């Protein structure tokens, strides 16, 4: 049943010409953003998933308060629920694909430099892998 729903959602995305959010994969196949989302409480998890779906609908047109450009090609998805703030960093690939690289619970005013650098590092790895697949 779930597989059928997934297939219907994918067909709907293509029909609506929506963006698609993919999670960056480590060499071992794990997806850090997926693992991070699983650690959140149920309400925040639902909020983040809802915001990811909104990002798929808006794509590069997403603006604050949902999304904010940080630097270079890195953006952040901004999920707020009460006093809790979660950020998912991402970048764009071709063909309306959004790659979510890392997530964290925000505890300070500025996005930590280490999180931005991690997103940039994963972006570089992603495009190196893509280039090697296309050679």
Q: Residue 20: which CATH number?
A: 3.30.2310.20
Using 50, 70 and 90 to split pLDDT, how confident is the model at 44?
A: very high
How many structural domains are present in the chain? 1
Report the distance separating Cα 118 and Cα 102, nearest Å. 7
Q: What is the structure's pLDDT at 112?
A: 96
State the residue range of the domain holding 120: 2-133
Q: Three-state DSSP class for 100?
A: strand
Where does the pLDDT of residue 8 fall: very low under 50, low under 70, confident under 90, or very high at 90 and above? low
Full-model pTM = 0.87
Quick one: how far is CA 66 from the chain centroid?
12
- Give 95's pLDDT tier (boundaries 50, 70, 90): confident
Confidence band, pLDDT 50/70/90 cuts, at residue 1:
very low
Model confidence at 3: pLDDT above 90: no
């Amino acid at each position: 049943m779930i597989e059928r729903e997934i297939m219907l959602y994918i067909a709907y995305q293509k029909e609506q010409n929506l963006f698609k959010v993919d999670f960056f994969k480590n060499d071992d196949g794990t997806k850090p953003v997926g693992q991070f989302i699983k650690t959140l409480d149920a309400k925040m998890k639902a909020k983040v998933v809802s915001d990811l779906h909104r990002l798929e609908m808006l794509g590069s047109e997403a603006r604050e308060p949902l999304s904010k450009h940080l630097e270079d090609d890195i953006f952040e998805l901004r999920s707020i629920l009460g006093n809790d703030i979660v950020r998912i960093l991402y970048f764009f690939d071709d063909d309306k694909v959004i790659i979510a690289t890392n997530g964290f619970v925000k505890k300070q005013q500025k996005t930590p430099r280490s999180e931005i650098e991690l997103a940039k590092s994963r972006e570089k790895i992603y495009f190196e892998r893509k280039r090697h697949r296309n050679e």
